C-alpha cells in the first residue's frame, strides 16, 4: 500500500515536467515557424536582422545641366539602380517626394561603408556631381532581402 503514493507522485512529477517541456515548443498562433533556410538565404542573424548600409542621396554641387543632359543622367542613374538590384547589392531605392536637399535613399546589402562607397561611384549622377551620398551603417530586418523579388511580382512597368 505504501507503493501507491510513490508511483502516483512519480507519474505526477513526470506529467508536470512533460508539460513544462512542451510549453517551450508551442508556437503562438500568430507566429510562423522559423525557417532556417530562409534565414541563411537572407543573411539573417538569430534576431532575423542583418547589416546594411543606408545611403541618403543628396543634391550635389553640379545641378546646372540642361534638360537633355539631366534626362540622360536620370536614365543612366535608373539603369545603374536596376543593375545593382539585379546583382543583389541594392535592396531598396527610391526618391523622396518633396523638393528637399535629400533626394532619395539607397539601402545596400553590404557589410561596410567602403563597399557601399565603391558602389556609389558607379552611379552616373554621382560621377557628374548631380548627387552626393551620405552613408550610414544600418541594422534592420533581413526580410528586406526579398523586397526586389516581391517588387517584380507587383510592378506592371519597369523603371
159 lies in some domain: no
Please report, for the domain that includes residue 80, its CATH number.
Answer: 3.30.70.1060
Q: For residues 111 and 105, is the Cβ–Cβ distance under 8 A?
A: no
Predicted confidence (pLDDT) per residue in 50-63, tens digit: 999 999 999 999 99
Confidence band (pLDDT; 50, 70, 90) for 24? Answer: low
Distance CA 59, CA 102 (A): 6
- Region for 114 from its dihedrals, namely left if φ exceeds 0, alpha if ψ lies in -120 to 50, beta otherwise: alpha
Say how many domains are in the chain.
2
- Cβ count near 148 (within 10 Å): 17
DSSP tag of 122: T
Q: For residues 49 and 140, is the Cβ–Cβ distance under 8 A?
A: yes
The reported pTM is 0.76
Domain that holds residue 65: 40-154
Amino acid at each position: 500500500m505504501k507503493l501507491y503514493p510513490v508511483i502516483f507522485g512519480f507519474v505526477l512529477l513526470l506529467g508536470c515536467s512533460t508539460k513544462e517541456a512542451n510549453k517551450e515548443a508551442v508556437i503562438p498562433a500568430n507566429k510562423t515557424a522559423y525557417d532556417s533556410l530562409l534565414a541563411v538565404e537572407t543573411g539573417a542573424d538569430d534576431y532575423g536582422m542583418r547589416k546594411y548600409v543606408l545611403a541618403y542621396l543628396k543634391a550635389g554641387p553640379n545641378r546646372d545641366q540642361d534638360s537633355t543632359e539631366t534626362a540622360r543622367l536620370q536614365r543612366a542613374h535608373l539603369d545603374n539602380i536596376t543593375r545593382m538590384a539585379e546583382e543583389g547589392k541594392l535592396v531598396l531605392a527610391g526618391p523622396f517626394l518633396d523638393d528637399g536637399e535629400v533626394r532619395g535613399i539607397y539601402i545596400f546589402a553590404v557589410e561596410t561603408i567602403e563597399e557601399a562607397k565603391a558602389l556609389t561611384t558607379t552611379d552616373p549622377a554621382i560621377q557628374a556631381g548631380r548627387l552626393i551620398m551620405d552613408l550610414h551603417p544600418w541594422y534592420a530586418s533581413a526580410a528586406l532581402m526579398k523586397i526586389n523579388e516581391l517588387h517584380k511580382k507587383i510592378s506592371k512597368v519597369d523603371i
